[in-house]
Chains A and B, each alone.
Chain A
Amino acid sequence: MSIKVYYFASLKEHVGSSEHELDFTQALTVNEVWLQANAELVLPQNTLAAINMDYVSWDSLVSDGDVVAFFPPVTGG
């Protein structure tokens, strides 16, 4: 299975990349996606996660073809 992972704003700078592609063979949670993609990095507090542009909790399962995004609290308006 394969997913795309996007990073935005300060998290993109923290990770040093705007996106990753991740292949996996068994079901992963959002938290496990972060750990597989960025095992060496500390996860900043308050980081938010989305699957296919909907907010999700960190124990949500990802599926083949999903787009997962990680980003800091939003500051628009």
Chain B
Amino acid sequence: MAIKITELAFDPYHELKLYQNTQLEHLGAIGATSLFIGTMRDFNQGSQVTGMSIEHYPGMTEKQLDLCIEKAQGLWSILDSLIIHRVGTITPNEVIVLIAVWSAHRGDAFDATRYIMEALKSTVPFWKKECLETDTERWVISNTSGYQ
């Protein structure tokens, strides 16, 4: 299981490949890999968005992500997981978050990926501030439920 918080733009497929190269103990056991990649849009709530900054609470971020994974492990049979989340300055089309889950069977991987993503959205202390086309800034007030 790995968690990475980074200020640097990253290629999720490259990161995935690098991480998979370390999964030697799971060779032969993995039957399913589920992946979620969240990217930044250039629009939100009726406005054109030119950039974004993401603040977080170092330490609590990692603690709450650990908790998300721990809860998912209690609900599904997971062999491994990888979470990477951006902080700092981000521009549209860049990846904000990568969540990958490996399991023996697809149901566990699909469901755990969704669960971790929704838990991240509602419990992990990240905050987005958007830069608008009008040269103004605004905090994103809340995340919507992914199940709506």
In the complex, chain B residues 25-44 whose Cβ is within 8 Å of any chain A Cβ:
38
A54 an interface residue at 8 Å Cβ cutoff? yes
Q: Tell me the smallest distance from the CB of A61 to a CB of chain B, in Å.
A: 19
Give the secondary structure class of B's interface. mixed
CB closest residue in chain A, given B123: A74
- Enumerate chain B residues within 8 angstroms of A73, measured Cβ to Cβ: 141-143
Q: Tell me the smallest distance from the CB of B119 to a CB of chain A, in Å.
A: 10
Interface residue range, chain A: 10 to 19
Q: How far is the CA of A32 from the CA of B52 in the complex (A)?
A: 34
A50 an interface residue at 8 Å Cβ cutoff? yes
- Enumerate chain A residues within 8 angstroms of B85, measured Cβ to Cβ: 76-77
Q: How far is the CA of A22 from the CA of B129 in the complex (A)?
A: 29
Interface of B toward A, CB cutoff 8 Å: 38, 54-57, 59-60, 63-64, 85, 96-97, 117, 120-129, 139-143
Could you list 12 examples of A-B contacts with CB < 8 Å? A50-B60, A53-B59, A53-B64, A54-B63, A71-B125, A73-B141, A73-B143, A74-B123, A75-B126, A76-B97, A76-B121, A76-B128
Interface of A toward B, CB cutoff 8 Å: 6, 8-10, 46, 50, 53-55, 69, 71-77
